[in-house]
A and B are shown apart, each in its own frame.
Chain A
Amino acid sequence: DVKVTQSSRYLVKRTGEKVFLECVQDMDHENMFWYRQDPGLGLRLIYFSYDVKMKEKGDIPEGYSVSREKKERFSLILESASTNQTSMYLCASSLGQEAFFGQGTRLTVV
């Protein structure tokens, strides 16, 4: 069975902290994605990676960075967390057609 695993389901962090969200897939997929989901705004793409060390900005990259040192792992970094980054974060991976999602990380920044 295909699996995309996000390291935490729930996370509470303080304003100004550096936050790491980890995502691991076991399908040898080249493409990995980070989205944030907010009510009424759908799924917004933060960053996309199409290979190890390769990345592309999505629609809302400000305040975020990413790291892909190994094919199976894609990390989202909040350099200095702010309250407006409180959201549900979803990671996905795909070969090109069907994308598989992780269960999401609900991040609250206080």
Chain B
Amino acid sequence: QQPVQSPQAVILREGEDAVINCSSSKALYSVHWYRQKHGEAPVFLMILLKGGEQKGHDKISASFNEKKQQSSLYLTASQLSYSGTYFCGTKNGGATNKLIFGTGTLLAVQP
């Protein structure tokens, strides 16, 4: 039932771009993206609702394709501060607030 994320890990140099994918076997109502730095709690980045919208957050943006039950997180011109583990969370219906997270993607940005 957990959404599947890919890749599992990615190493970048500062300034490079990355894409993290999140795929669910169930119909999605919303997709939530979080980042967790080492030793810290996960922190909310953005939410995407049914409707295929794309959202932006500085140089981090995301898209949501509800037909394919997929979301992608785009990190542009990565900075050292982007390092961490990224999780997508999904809700499968409008009536429930049950939030299921994916397997995580470890992103390491090197100087």
Which residues of A come within 8 Å of B, CB atoms?
A: 30-31, 33, 35, 40-45, 48, 50, 56, 58-59, 90, 92, 94, 96-104
Contact = CB atoms under 8 A, between A and B. Distances in A.
Nearest to A30: B97
A59 B100 contact: yes
Contacts, number: 61
B102 interface: yes
Given A42-B5, A42-B87, A43-B104, A101 B42 contact: yes
Given A43-B104, A101-B42, A103-B41, A33 B87 contact: no
Question: Which among B1, B100, B103 has the highest number of chain A CB atoms within 10 Å?
Answer: B100
Contacts of B104: 42-43
A108 to B, nearest CB: 17
A54 B34 CA distance: 26
Contacts of A96: 97
5 contacts: A40-B8, A42-B102, A56-B96, A99-B34, A103-B41
> What band does the interface of chain B fall in when counting residues whose beta carbon is under 8 Å from A?
20 to 34
Contact of B2 (A33, A42, A98, A102): A42
Interface of B: 1-2, 5, 8, 32, 34, 40-44, 47, 87, 89, 96-104
A90 B41 contact: yes
A38 to B, nearest CB: 10
Nearest to B46: A98
B41 A97 contact: no
Given A31-B97, A96-B97, A43 B1 contact: no
Given A90-B41, A98-B47, A99-B32, A43 B87 contact: yes
